[in-house]
Structure 1
Amino acid sequence: MTRLVDSNAVIYDIAAENPNMTDLDRLTNLYWALCSVLRSGIPGDVVELGCNAGHTSALLKMVLEAEGDDRSLHLYDSFDGLPAPSSADRYLKQGDCKATAADVLAVFERWGLKPPHLHEGWFEETLPGQLPERVAFAYLDGDFYESIHTSLTHVWPRLSVGGSVIVDDYCDRELSPRAWDGLPGVKKACDEFFADVPASRRVLVGSGDLAFAEFRKKG
């Protein structure tokens, strides 16, 4: 089976599998963001918080494979859908976006990829004791205010200097006028967390309604 190590065109196939969560804009931005971290030699593992059925996770693993990098990929998900929303959240409800660990493993098997490290449970239960000691790259796709704030609280202290955190659903209409604004709790959580934490922020854009931000850890 064709993989990223053979041709970047496989990104089209991954996007087609689950276009609502793994569209081309997301995948290409993640591809280059992770590549930049790996090629800069930033130490640490790769983590994804909110992996759902693992389609985006497969791309992250393919990038590691294509770059000849053997660092570990850790995936975190409740596998019980979303938690209860806060007053800052809208659009999605408790229990939405449910997938199983078996779904993730099936995606990896279908692409001929080595299984990732799976961590099942709510973020507040798994992250304190199950994150790698050092993180080089993190993809945060928690959808809700509390999930994103909890993710940043635990991931950022372990992020290596120069490391990158990509946050899905971060909508800044001033810098990215097409961005989808359906999950406002995400930006609220990020803005509150980084109010007193030094980081470089870059709002990413795409051809569609991509809502993405990258936060880099300064030295």
Structure 2
Amino acid sequence: MIEPKIPRAEQLKNWAKEHCDTLNALKRLRDYNNATINLANPEKEEISKIATVPALINPAQPAWVKGKISINIDNKNTWYIGCSHCLKKVYAESDELFNCMHCVEKTAVGTPRCKMDVEIVDETGHIVASVFGLPAETLLLRSSKQVMELEQEGKNLPLSNINNRLQDQEFIVQLRSQSFTQQGKPTTSYTIISLHDASLYAITSKTIEHDTLPIQKKRICTEDEDNGDVTQKRIKKI
């Protein structure tokens, strides 16, 4: 249905027109590629034990877990060149301008991106997951470009040393899953959407009014209990 004549659609259309400049600025920043910015803090009851994480996670409600992370030391090719717009792997050089066949972006730039497999562990079990981009850089304490340059020099990442540093650190991790068939067998893989140092990550616990978006039902969002910081909000209908 194109441009449905219903009140909710008209409200959203008018809101988008009024905030056109802001929306265009956000599109240029491409913050939608940064899950750390987009995702709200989880509430305490939303953090699952690893043993309870389902094989198929609802795409609309990714799973949160808390645990320690170790990097698979057998990781090979821990970076790739991706499109600066859609982040998918491309055959281009770093900083090269090209037309992306995936997203049809005509001014895409070849951008190094980290990628590796990790294991997340808590007291109930473990999950193997892939991690890309900024979350991977958080674990390595290196930029994707630095990882690329290191391997191009014929050097290896000191993964054992990095794991030693990570062994006493816990993370709040958000996961999604993907189901596919491999060699005739159904298989599930997990990907880390975002991760945060558990000692620094505030869990939402209080509520404040929130009326920024055009809505039909009253909505509330949670506020950080310690410092009142409302820069990250969790919004839900009531």
Which TM-score band applies after superposition, normalised by the shorter structure?
under 0.3
TM-score by length of structure 1 reads: 0.25
Q: Select the structure that is richer in strand.
A: 2
Larger helix proportion of the pair:
1
TM-score (norm 2): 0.23
